[in-house]
Chains A and B, each alone.
Chain A
């Protein structure tokens, strides 16, 4: 063990430092009452059942005429895009002159267990698109889909191409069965009918458990051993706690929509073969001729790049661009790269196609 350069004095120092920081961490934790997230001011302009459509207020007039509608995933909450003022993709996009709207899918309860993809895409999403067009006085929207919301946006753009001007997909899976897709690998043998019969709606904490189980040590003990450093001061602690709050804030999934999505996408990869059916209409991605900006994270373990990049060959778009961000799944929106790379690229790209 020639590289082993640990001596007793070093270990004593390290243990002392670690535990001193641990004690300070307690002081920090005890001094924090409220963990505020999603602080950018917004107006509720439309509500359909539990789905809410928000319009963000901006201190400056939008320089891009076509409004941007953000379609987030059903899993987790969309405030990750506005986690805190210093790490807010929303604020950055507003500052860059975009007129922003966001869909908040809400928290499905037992009354929503039969909601299916037709309800979400042809119902709620279409209703939000229409309301944004009306509110902004625009015939079309720029659709910005995130993760599963990106897959929804692709389906929607294929079904209602005339209502969409440009399409931006962030960390969006389209090929669900690539060799390195560990989440898909885990989903293959799960009996979905049994899952819906058992749970009705799929509990959010079960999904969270599945995500954590993909990297149990790094997201478990390693993260907790780094906490004393994160809690060294109040601001860093708040950043950490906001992220933790978001991770744990995982809505249950409407049973039928979950079954259709996991079965159609993860287990049968139907989107790749243009065989996905939403309501009574087949989703043919070749109907997407819109300008398309596809953004993905190089180190994304939930939606690996190989799951996103096949989009290049699936649509009929002649204006397709990719942006590979050196970040993981969440880092694409919240890291410094998001501020300096992702938001400016989205804004420039949309302005050029306005």
Chain B
């Protein structure tokens, strides 16, 4: 790490510690220093751009999760200085649950986001119809929206949204149950001596509820529905694109798939033939004794020599 970056980070940490100390003393804390995440963003353009992709991704993750942790730490500090610290602590713990739930939902949305912008996948015609539906700036064309393809696209999109909503609801319910469990465990006297302990306790509660819910029939159906809705939407877009390719005389996925299948059949035939040849060779060698094979090879070599000599003699006679 460059000295400059090191100094900037140390300076940030000193500012941050002063802020936390003021919070702990119950004094007016003043303005919160710029978050770790923002500091990292500022440096992503300089020193961090040199990082390989994997390290850069981890660095980014570190930054955003550290921000969450620091924010929560600040909230607990504030709560401890409150006159009614018991109630304030409960609120801080509830806040932790909300933060974590937001985090879980954001991760879910990232996992299930459609891989490409819908507009580019859908092509200009569908994108126009969609933007007509969602974007007030573009005039909506009822004739276009009533075409069978467009209607099918809308149906699939709605199905995806509904499936996604149901899945997110299930996860929110897991988060709510986990928050209640955490609260109960704290009331029951679970030992918490650090923020990390509290975090770990939350994760235990969440994972326990997540594991139970994950084995329910409802979760299985919701996951299947969302997976299938996501794939149907993507396939719809691919089919749409293939029809455009076809109209331009270009090969689309069906043609390429057909070629791959033919190539695969040929590959199998080749492998099967190679195996048959190898088996035949083995059978032949098994049937004929090794001494006989050696004798035949010697005889063959002798015949070749005689043939060579005869051909040589004939050549000499010709000249």
A contact residues vs B (CB 8 Å cutoff):
1-12, 14-16, 18-20, 22-23, 25-27, 29-33, 35, 110-111, 113-115, 118-119, 123, 179-180, 182, 185-186, 188-191, 194-195, 197-200, 209, 213-218, 220-222, 224-225, 227-228, 241, 244-245, 248
Contact = CB atoms under 8 A, between A and B. Distances in A.
B283 to A, nearest CB: 16
Given A18-B69, A197-B235, A225-B199, A29 B55 contact: yes
B264 interface: yes
Contacts of B65: 221, 224-225
Contact of B77 (A8, A114, A195): A8
22 contacts: A1-B186, A1-B192, A2-B189, A3-B191, A3-B192, A6-B80, A6-B193, A8-B77, A12-B20, A15-B73, A26-B5, A30-B1, A31-B1, A191-B224, A198-B231, A198-B238, A209-B111, A215-B210, A221-B103, A222-B203, A228-B66, A241-B54
A159 to B, nearest CB: 14
B194 A32 contact: no
Interface in B130-185: none
A267 to B, nearest CB: 11
Interface in B61-86: 61-62, 65-66, 68-70, 73, 76-77, 80-81, 86
B227 interface: yes
A191 B231 contact: yes
Interface residues of B, number: 87
* Prevailing SS type, chain A contact patch: helix
Q: Main secondary structure on chain B at its contact with chain A?
A: helix
B10 interface: yes
B17 A12 contact: yes
B228 A194 contact: yes
A80 to B, nearest CB: 16
Given A11-B77, A200-B257, A225-B65, A191 B111 contact: no
A136 to B, nearest CB: 19
Nearest to B227: A190
Contact of A115 (B54, B191, B264): B264
A160 B227 CA distance: 37
Interface in B29-74: 36, 47-48, 50-52, 54-55, 58-59, 61-62, 65-66, 68-70, 73
B232 A194 contact: yes
B86 A1 contact: yes
A228 B189 contact: no
A218 B203 contact: yes
A31 B198 CA distance: 32
A5 B193 contact: yes
Given A198-B235, A241-B55, A217 B17 contact: no
Contacts of A6: 76, 80, 192-195, 198
B235 A194 contact: yes
Interface string B183-223: 00011111111111011101100110011001100011101
Nearest to A34: B52
Contacts of A179: 215
Most chain B beta carbons < 10 A, residue from A29, A118, A186: A29
B268 interface: yes
A110 B260 contact: yes
Nearest to A126: B275
A6 B54 CA distance: 36
Contacts of B36: 19, 22
Contacts of A32: 55
